Amino acid sequence: MKQILIVDDDAQIRECIKLFLEKQGFRVFDAPNGVKAIELCKLARFDLIIADIYMPGMDGIQFIEELQKFSPDIKVIAISGGERGHFFTSNMPLHSAMHRGAFCSLSKPFKMAELLHAVKEILALVDKAV
């Protein structure tokens, strides 16, 4: 069973994504920020990580950079509603995440079908690489 980690400071978003992906047959874990996610990544192996960009403590960009130091092969989907203070309109953070190692990105709000498509596509690539 594939293991996915969801990293987002919004508990409702984490829970919604978690329940959806569990219904699709994945084993899903979650963390409220990058610091907790790094701790989990050092304890367990994940096939895929879905990480928000704006979070307290360690944001998604910092999380991706830290993750790359010890686990550069883990695929990350970056998610974001945009830049805080700018009415959530900027896609710059998602572009920045892609340049720092995220495999793909989705702007919030996204459809669960979009997320599932990205998850399945990435996991298929991971399986081919093994």
pLDDT tens per residue across all 130 residues of the chain = 999 999 999 999 999 999 999 999 999 999 999 999 999 999 999 999 999 998 888 989 999 999 999 999 999 999 988 655 544 444 566 767 776 778 999 999 999 999 999 999 999 998 887 7
Cβ neighbours of residue 117 closer than 8 Å, sequence gap 6 or more: none
| Domain total of the chain | 1
Tokens representing 15 are 């829970």
Domain harbouring 15, CATH code: 3.40.50.2300
The whole model's pTM is what?
Answer: 0.90
